Amino acid sequence: MDRETRNSAIAAAWILLLFGLAAYFLPTIMLAVGSVSTALAAIVAAIFMVALFVVFWLRGRSQHKKGR
């Protein structure tokens, strides 16, 4: 495993770990926010889903600019 591959694997592991933890606590967060507003709870879930794709999109753009 060369340096670039190792760094990509480490970055992917961190992304999956952080979003995995967020997904684990998402129901609790949504219930807490849902007690205030159900629409706000839906927005929180949508932001979580969009954030996942945005992180991978930004990483892809970064890798593309580096010419990998």
- pLDDT tens, position by position, 9-42: 898 899 999 999 999 999 999 999 999 999 999 9
Helices (H), the chain: 3-34, 38-65
CA angle 25, 16, 64 (to 5 degrees): 135
Tokens of 19: 């979003």
Average pLDDT in the chain: 90
Q: Tell me the mean pLDDT in the region 50-60.
A: 89
Distance between CA atoms of 59 and 53, rounded to whole angstroms?
10
Q: Residue 7 — pLDDT band, cuts 50, 70, 90? A: confident
Distance between CA atoms of 64 and 57, rounded to whole angstroms?
10
Length of the chain as a residue count? 68
The pLDDT, as a whole number, for residue 34 is 95
